[in-house]
Structure 1
Amino acid sequence: MSVKYQLAQISLVILAGLSAFPAACSASNKRSFINDDDRFMALRDAAYHDDATNADIHASALEGYEIPSYVDYYRIRAHLLKASNAEIAAFITKYDGSAIADRMRNDWLSLLGKRGNWELFDQQYPLFVVADDNQLRCYAVISKAVKGQKVSTEAKNLLNAPRDYGDGCYTMVTYLKDTGQFTQADIWTQMRMAVENGAQPLAQRLGKLLDLPEKKISTLFDKPEKLFKKGPDNNPSSRELFVAALGRIAKSDPTEAAALLSLYSNRLNDEQRSNGWAQIALQSAFKLEPEALAYWVRADGATLSTDAYQWRARTALHEGDWKLLKNAINAMPANLKNDPTWIYWMGRALKAEGKADEARKLFAGIADQIHFYGQLALEENGQKIGVPIATRPITPDELAPMEKNPNLQRALKFYSMNLRTEGNREWNWELRKFNERQHLAAAELARKNNLLDRMVNTSDRTKNEVDFSQRFPTPFNESMYKTTQALGLDMAWVYGLIRQESRFIMTAKSQVGASGLMQIMPATARYVAKKMGLDNYVATQVNDIDTNIVLGTNYLNMVLTDLGGSQALASAAYNAGPGRPRAWRAKLSRPVEGAIFTETIPFNETRGYVKNVLSNATYYAALFEKKPQSLKARLGIVVPKGMSASDADLPDEIKQ
């Protein structure tokens, strides 16, 4: 079967799947509409359900609507699979230079890639401004490969987040395998990454490229120990499958996986052994087990994922092995090594070696950056964290153009309709054209319209002209002060948490149902209300600002008390539940800096959350107290339960 035929077949399957969405109920065109905004919402809904009939009806009724570009977009979006290239191109020409034209180009490029129309794809792809779609990057690689270019390295750089793969990237893998640019070893590397990330649908698709039965892949995920009761067979596929299975076994029992690898080690080659130990080391590292350190040493020479590179370093950090930490960072790809996280920890490793001057240079390179590791680097170089010199306030003359800007006004219209996706698209599209003063003026426009999340996000983008009143707002100050004072709670920390939780969106609601400024889960709200003796509490009260603050701060105070007064532990508990930080603390063999505890949190979301909350809190404290602050002091020392944190117990790097 030719590669061209295979690609055509894949495209047909993809397109058939896309066209199979059920049409929206025809009743939507019969309902009565309060106004044109109501009708527009119905048009949008019809478009997302591929209901071309109702979309045409609604669009025809909106001929005079104030945002015609989106009316036209949703009309085409409803029949996109049947739209001609000429119709799509005409839309883009009509609204050239707009955010929605770029969105339409994104949709079009996706179709062109699926259809294998590389000539038109290559014409349009350089014109895609936002350029944030990984599927299109994969199609662009296929287009190069079709022309005979060598693209394997570029392709591998796109394939480092298996849960985010889609049809474009899977098609790329298939094409590169069929044309010889990807070897069997490359596909097995992708398989190990899929297994490592629990991406079973991707593993099933990769399994087809490796001629593995679907049942074997299912067993690999569900009952991996059943695959190898007698170890791997004497063939390459069996040995590679054994290595992948070790990671699944290690997910529940790293010791069992290590015993299996040791037992059958002689059946594997050097590369397979290293990869096997890396699979075990990563799962052991997630569990914060001290044995992970030895597993990583035995994994030397393995092909590592992005996660594995970083967790090798985190394991060294967790166990206090500065030499291994330095080696682990040095072995990282350039994009990881140059991340502020690993610049900071490389500086710490050098400092532990006594290379203070080299360390100081690394710290100086990130100390002016307004984030967690920028703050810590500043402290390592002997300074505290303060508030930048205030920039000139935005004048009425600077604000006036923002109030007349059609794209920003379009965004404000969408925000008023609670269409945040469309609003953010229009808002961010316009920001691309702005200098720093204009960013601050746009942030001021957001403040004026009570869009504090947009104000923070927009102001955060400036580097030289910095306005902390925009970046770190303090709404509901009176209520917050009264509540935190009554509890003896650090108000700077509470504001830091809210900034991370909801960005001050009063009606914020998460995918899991958390509500309001402090993003409180319904069950948590009921529990706290009961503990506080609020007998008449009803669920809808959680969206009342004062009630949300009272419930959120009381819960935060409860977890802070439960976790020994550590803001690092309590912040983690607020995000992941109190049981998890207790378990992570129990894995410590010695007291560690709060920064080390934070960097070795096994959950990506919680790790980033704690960093952001405490970084925010440090800046808020500097604003409130009008004096420099210490993030290190705020992070404190995290000690195993029942162990003293006296100086006699602390390692040397904490005493410094």
Structure 2
Amino acid sequence: MNLIRIIKFAWLSCFLLQPQLALSDKLNDQRQAFLQAEQYLAESNEAGFLAVRSGLDDYPLYPYLRYQWLKNQLPQTDQVLAFLSAYKTTRYAGLLRSKWLDYLAKQERWQDFVRYYEVSGDSADDCLYQWAQYRIGNQSQALAEAKRLWLLGEPVDKSCQPLFTALQNSPLITPDLIWRRFEATVENNDLDTARTTSLLLKEEARKNAELWLKLLERPELIEDGQFWLDKNTQTGRLFAHAVKRLASSNLDKALTVWDSKIANFSLDGQTAQRVEQKFGLSLLSKKDNRAYGRLSKVLQPDEETRAAKVRSALLEQNWQHVNNALFGLTVAEQQEPKWQYWKARALQEIGKKQESNQVYAELAKDRSYYGFLAADFVNVPYRIIDQPVKVQAEQLRQLEENPDFKACYEFKFLGRDLEARRQWQFAIKNLPKEKLQAAAKLAQQWQWDQLAITTLVKADYWDDLAIRFPLDYADEVQASAYKHDLDPALLFGLMRQESMLDKNAVSSAGAKGLMQLMPETARTIARTLREPWHSDSDLFKPDLNIQYGGYYFKDLLIRFGGHIAVAGAAYNAGPNRAKKWLPITSAVPADIWIETIPFKETRKYVSTVLSYAIIYQNRLKKGGLKLKGLLRDVTP
């Protein structure tokens, strides 16, 4: 009897699973057919492609496949329009439309171009659209837009050339308009475009432009009196442009010339303010204590300048100046954790300890670098909130069934990582925050840590620590930490900041893998360790990358006296730069040293790695790391 029941159960299970097995078989068959269709496309075998694609209508990558075919069939207007209609919500509609519009422009089918154009934000496309409007008779509108584009002072893209030529041949073009474009190109530091624009000027104005170009190419000639025979508004602007360019190569000379000659020129306040801003920011980047005085001359500072003024006061360690600069921030800026921390520090330094502690205590509730620093000052535990996103199974199922996400999964399954990521970004582009949270959870389930992290950030949700701070490669991290006598939380912090735990990450500079090592650095480490080096692709192996990353960071720690912050700056910006940023005469508190690192990217990098290390300590269920223990004074 029991045997009969078992047989009946087995038969029933097969019967129930049959549709799923059939579905799985169909999907596998479609994947094979898709790959075959791609092969036919590569071989230009259209007959084979058309025969194979017939069974792929409901395959998730069918729109992608049709796009690949149609982008080489642009004369087939009916087919293109049918695709744009049928798949208008897919990523490939925009890609095909762009290629088709280029084709229409080359064929001078301007009516069709205008009819099917969609605003893209690309200035070259904008030029083509306005040229199409010009060609179909809407000349006044097209030339008005051409004037706007012309005054941007940007290089002339070949798509813009016909439109700009029409503008230059129209009554709208005036000597003043040409000069305004010339100055705009100079302001953009685009001397090639400035030189081309100067050729459109009439004789006298062209001579002035040639003087400008000569001085801008060799700003050290700024003291030559021939440039300043006429001290009018125009030469005043030239003087200001030249001083700013000289400041990039010889800051002290630029300061001397500006201070000694500024009274001789007629300058509008805005132009003079931009020069003072340039001086202040340049001095701050060189850690020069004159920065605060220069930035104080900027009467209408922007956000960058307001922040720089606080940092320049910190550079001086003049706490009254710090207070003044903090009051110069907007009300919203003053509430940011960064500036709340420095408010507390300033109050502490001028002896208002009770007020300082109140600010610290409130800030200590924030899970951030500045919140952790504040917690150390008032000796309270770090507050690390962990509230996972709440996503229902049905929400995940709906996302998985969405055609855009199904296409993501297929690209991922087929090993097309770049296409999968592009498709993912398209899929989440217009999702509301609730669905973005579900998408982040889905990416986590698909083991796409980097996309899970960035999607959760887009959802403006910060408290799911399992998504934001994954523990993948824990064994490799523990092994490297043990081998190099490093805290594993610190290694995780570095890796999270470097690559978001994407083992295939590649930076624009060529750094590779989880710890973003440059191949040259890795080859040097391999030689030092007397280990074989096969190719740069070895850096995509997690165990090797983490091992070499730990070795390199430990080496930097040794070189910089065991100082975590300085070693972190060196890991990001290079040891030579970090060495230049060290104090010259006396020790500097580490928090001030970090806040006055000249590179914004490195400044943020160091503080972020430190905060991530504290959070990873919590994720690893360990204790012991305290920022105050990691941040001793930075010595010369």
TM-score (norm 2): 0.71
Cα deviation, residue 124, structure 1: 6.9
Q: Measured at CA, do residues 297 and 530 of structure 1 come closer, stay the same or move farther in structure 2, by a change above 3 Å? A: same
Does 2:524 match 1:527? yes
1:29 corresponds to: none
Does 2:66 match 1:69? no
Q: Is the 8 A contact 1:316 1:325 kept in 2?
A: yes
Q: Which amino acid aligns with 1:247?
A: K
Indicate the larger mover: 67-76 or 104-113. Answer: 104-113
Q: Which of 85, 93, 111 in structure 2 is aligned with 1:93?
A: 85
Q: Measured at CA, do residues 347 and 517 of structure 1 come closer, stay the same or move farther in structure 2, by a change above 3 Å? A: closer
1:601 corresponds to: 597
**1:592-632 deviation line (CA, Å, top 9, x unaligned):** 343x33343323433333233223222112222456975x5
Q: Name the CA distance, whole Å, in 2 between partners of 1:134 and 1:608.
A: 32
Q: Is the 8 A contact 1:55 1:74 kept in 2?
A: no
Q: Which of 574, 596, 618 in structure 2 is aligned with 1:577?
A: 574
**1:474-520 deviation line (CA, Å, top 9, x unaligned):** 22212211220232202112111111222222222333332221121
Cα deviation, residue 257, structure 1: 0.8
1:296 corresponds to: 295
2:224 corresponds to: 229
**1:343-382 deviation line (CA, Å, top 9, x unaligned):** 6326634763689999999999998876555666777898
Does 2:314 match 1:317? yes
Cα deviation, residue 310, structure 1: 4.5
**What's the RMSD between the two structures over aligned residues?**
5.5
State the SS of the aligned residue for 2:582.
Answer: helix
Report how many aligned residue pairs link the two structures: 577
Q: Measured at CA, do residues 507 and 147 of structure 1 come closer, stay the same or move farther in structure 2, by a change above 3 Å? A: same
Q: Name the CA distance, whole Å, in 2 between partners of 1:121 and 1:100.
A: 20
**1:258-297 deviation line (CA, Å, top 9, x unaligned):** 1222332232235354443333333222222222333333
Q: Measured at CA, do residues 243 and 298 of structure 1 come closer, stay the same or move farther in structure 2, by a change above 3 Å? A: same
Does 2:272 match 1:278? no
Q: Is the 8 A contact 1:385 1:628 kept in 2?
A: no
Structure 2 segments unaligned to the other structure (5+ residues): 1-31, 134-139
Does 2:567 match 1:591? no
Indicate the larger mover: 321-330 or 460-469. Answer: 321-330
Q: Is the 8 A contact 1:232 1:267 kept in 2?
A: no
Q: Measured at CA, do residues 107 and 613 of structure 1 come closer, stay the same or move farther in structure 2, by a change above 3 Å? A: farther
Cα deviation, residue 551, structure 1: 1.0
Q: Measured at CA, do residues 421 and 487 of structure 1 come closer, stay the same or move farther in structure 2, by a change above 3 Å? A: closer
Q: Which amino acid aligns with 2:218?
A: K
2:494 corresponds to: 497
Percent pairwise identity = 23
1:348 corresponds to: 342
Q: Is the 8 A contact 1:59 1:71 kept in 2?
A: no
Q: Is the 8 A contact 2:364 2:382 kept in 1?
A: no
1:478 corresponds to: 475
Q: Which amino acid aligns with 1:69?
A: P
Q: Name the CA distance, whole Å, in 1 between partners of 2:384 and 2:96.
A: 42
1:387 corresponds to: 384
For 1:196-595, what aligned pairs fall within 5 Å after superposition?
Answer: 200=191, 219=214, 222-226=217-221, 228-230=223-225, 232-234=228-230, 235-271=232-268, 272-300=271-299, 308=305, 310-321=307-318, 324=321, 338=332, 344-345=338-339, 348-349=342-343, 352=346, 372=369, 384-391=381-388, 399-416=396-413, 419-432=416-429, 438-463=435-460, 466-531=463-528, 533-540=529-536, 541-586=538-583, 590-594=587-591
Q: Is the 8 A contact 1:366 1:377 kept in 2?
A: yes
Q: Measured at CA, do residues 223 and 377 of structure 1 come closer, stay the same or move farther in structure 2, by a change above 3 Å? A: farther
Q: Which amino acid aligns with 1:581?
A: A
**1:552-584 deviation line (CA, Å, top 9, x unaligned):** 101001101211222221112112211111111
Q: Which of 603, 623, 631 in structure 2 is aligned with 1:636?
A: 631
Does 2:611 match 1:611? no
Q: Name the CA distance, whole Å, in 1 between partners of 2:110 and 2:620.
A: 59
Q: Which amino acid aligns with 2:90?
A: S
Cα deviation, residue 312, structure 1: 4.1
Q: Which amino acid aligns with 1:600?
A: T
TM-score (norm 1): 0.69
Q: Name the CA distance, whole Å, in 2 between partners of 1:629 and 1:386.
A: 14
Q: Name the CA distance, whole Å, in 1 between partners of 2:180 and 2:321.
A: 28
Structure 1 segments unaligned to the other structure (5+ residues): 1-33, 47-52, 642-656
Cα deviation, residue 401, structure 1: 3.5
Q: Which amino acid aligns with 1:229?
A: D
State the SS of the aligned residue for 2:510.
Answer: coil
Q: Name the CA distance, whole Å, in 2 between partners of 1:523 and 1:509.
A: 14
**1:378-398 deviation line (CA, Å, top 9, x unaligned):** 778986544324437766555
Rg (Cα) greater in structure: 2
**1:55-113 deviation line (CA, Å, top 9, x unaligned):** 98997577445423223444555688x897x8766543322333333555677899999
